[in-house]
Amino acid sequence: MSGAKYLSREKINEILGILVLDATFLPMSQDTYNETAIIEAIARTKKQSELHMAAINLSCIGYGGQKYGLFKLKNEIIDIATLLKTCNVKLNLPKDSKLAEIDLTPQRLCRAFRNHTREYIREKGFETYLYRKYTNHNPKFAEICFRGAEYLDDLNPDEIEYLTDLYIRLDRERGTQISDRIQRIFQAKGYLKRKVP
């Protein structure tokens, strides 16, 4: 096969024809998160109640640096890392690890139990670490200031702005780029328009 290494737009159109995108075309993410698979994986552990409590703790208190914390249940102290290992939750994964749809991680637990976490904060008036450290303490938004709240399905524009500001403040203080991920999530959910830089 011979020919020019690079073709002009006109030559490409001559060969392929004029292509018009169907109005229903929409690029899709390569994200492997499948909520049904995750919820079913949680149910298969037979420890969904304990994982529910662990997820609230992880979302509200935070975790990192291979530390997952503890919670008290009746008179027993539960080590979250031990519980997560028992349930085959993947811990301390390198950044951008490839996950199967059924793989459980602390972040996926926070996401799966997002509605339960908001209910807990609402019912108990609990102040999360994100609310205390990275906001202006407006009580109107206290119930959405937790890890995983960005996946809630009913956020209003004011809540989206508050969460975005929270993560921008966190990024400035810690030198991270979490707000970029949060904005991509909001764009994928249709809360924010995608912008070309």
Q: Which two tokens stand for residue 111?
A: 């996401």
Q: Do residue 103 and residue 35 come from a single domain?
A: yes
Per-residue DSSP letter, 33: -
Q: Do residue 101 and residue 141 come from a single domain?
A: no
| Final residue before a domain boundary, out of 53, 84, 112 | 112
Q: Do residue 95 and residue 148 come from a single domain?
A: no
SS3 state at 64? strand
| Final residue before a domain boundary, out of 112, 142, 170 | 112
Q: What are the helix (H) ranges across 45-156?
A: 48-61, 80-86, 106-112, 114-124, 129-134
What is the total count of domains within the chain? 2
Q: Do residue 35 and residue 93 come from a single domain?
A: yes
pLDDT value at residue 195:
63
Is residue 23 in some structural domain? no
Is residue 93 in some structural domain? yes
Per-residue DSSP letter, 68: -
Is residue 54 in some structural domain? yes
Is residue 20 in some structural domain? no
Q: d(Cα 14, Cα 113) in Å, to the nearest integer?
A: 53
Q: Do residue 143 and residue 196 come from a single domain?
A: yes
Q: What range does the domain containing 46 cover?
A: 30-112
| pLDDT tens digits in sequence order for the chain, 197 residues long | 456 677 788 888 888 888 787 787 766 555 557 899 999 999 999 999 999 999 999 999 999 888 999 999 999 999 999 999 999 999 988 887 889 999 999 999 999 999 999 999 999 999 999 999 999 999 999 999 999 999 999 999 999 999 999 999 999 999 999 999 999 999 888 887 766 55
* Spatial contact of 31 and 103, defined as CB atoms under 8 Å apart: no
Q: Do residue 35 and residue 108 come from a single domain?
A: yes
Is residue 177 in some structural domain? yes
pLDDT value at residue 196:
56
Q: Do residue 136 and residue 104 come from a single domain?
A: no
Tell me the β-bridge partners of 77. Answer: 72
pTM equals 0.81
Q: Do residue 132 and residue 189 come from a single domain?
A: yes
